[in-house]
Structure 1
Amino acid sequence: MDAAELISTAAARTEELPGAARENPFGPEWDVYKVRGLVFLLIPLDGSGRVTLKSDPDDAVALREAFADIIPGYHMNKKHWITLTPGPSLDRDLVAELVTESYLLVVEKLPRARRPVDPTTFGRSPN
């Protein structure tokens, strides 16, 4: 997956997530995606093609071990954030899934009344 595809896939997935909004609180060099004011995805607009998102700490370790193009969160807490870099180990489905998981990690920390979706059922098919 090249840089443009990585960024466009991540950004496109955010458009499908209820309550997600893009802001530029750090200036025009960063697209920051938030849900109810809390960050779940960062994209630096420096041409690097990186995408940084939240991850469960145990999942973050497993993802970094399994995928060469997933590294510790760039300029973030390495335990709770991962960075996706352009490369062959990533595909569209994985990127979309990781964006969704990052979003849900933030949503589940919100008070129930502020949650735009139920994080335990959103995106999961009924049994």
Structure 2
Amino acid sequence: MDVEQMQVYCLAKPGAWPDNPWEHEHPVIKVGPGERGKIFAFLGGGGVGVKSGRTREVADEWIARFPDDASVMPYIGRSGWNDLAFGGAIPDDELLEAVDESYRMVVEGLPKKLRPEDWDQA
């Protein structure tokens, strides 16, 4: 798995779109319309940042399982966000499942009228 493959995977989700609010090398991936869109994946050259749980305790399960390849995201980690590394101990299918779960949690947090059609089929 690399950042380009992860970006393609993320953008295939209903209502997903890239944004670069901080002008980094890689975009964040949002879901929801325009200004109301919410980030579900932070893409980076070495990994992906995802919402890993509704609480820090749930998100910490990733760090316990993969101490060398999962870490708490700066600034927003207290809200259950983790950085997960590409090319390490975390299998690619688990990285994709982590993105799926992040997408699901973020979409569920959107008002129903802003949720993309068929989001729960993704």
- After TM superposition, the score normalised by the length of structure 2 is 0.80
Distance across 2 between alignment mates of 1:110 and 1:60: 21
Using the alignment, how far apart are the partners of 1:9 and 1:96 within structure 2? 10
Q: Which residue of 2 aligns with 1:6?
A: 2
The match for 1:62 is 61
Q: For residues 20 and 7 of structure 1, what CA distance do their matches in structure 2 show?
A: 16
Q: Is the 8 A contact 1:9 1:95 kept in 2?
A: no
Counterpart residue number, 1:32: 28
1:114 is aligned to 2:114: yes
What is the one-letter code of the residue matched to 2:110? L
Counterpart Cα distance in 2 of 1:117 and 1:66:
34
Q: Distance in 2 between matches of 1:16 and 1:112?
A: 20
CA RMSD of aligned residues (A): 2.0
How many residues matched? 114
| 2:48 is the alignment partner of 1:22 | no
In the alignment, structure 2 segments of 5+ residues that lack a partner are: none
1:52 partner letter? G
1:35: Cα distance to partner?
0.4
Q: Report the AA paired with residue 50 of structure 1.
A: G
Q: Which runs of 5+ in 1 are unaligned?
A: none
More helix by share: 2
CA 1:76–1:51: 2 relative to 1, 3 Å = farther
- Deviating 4+ runs (over 6 angstroms): none
CA contact (8 A) 2:11 2:18 kept: no
Quick check: 1:6–1:51 contact (8 Å CA) kept in 2?
no
Q: CA 1:15/1:76 → structure 2, altered by over 3 Å: closer, same or farther?
A: same
Normalising by structure 1, report the TM-score.
Answer: 0.77
Contact 2:14 2:118 in 1 (8 A): no
**SS of residue in 1 equivalent to 2:50:** strand
Q: 1:95 to 1:106 in 2, by over 3 A?
A: same
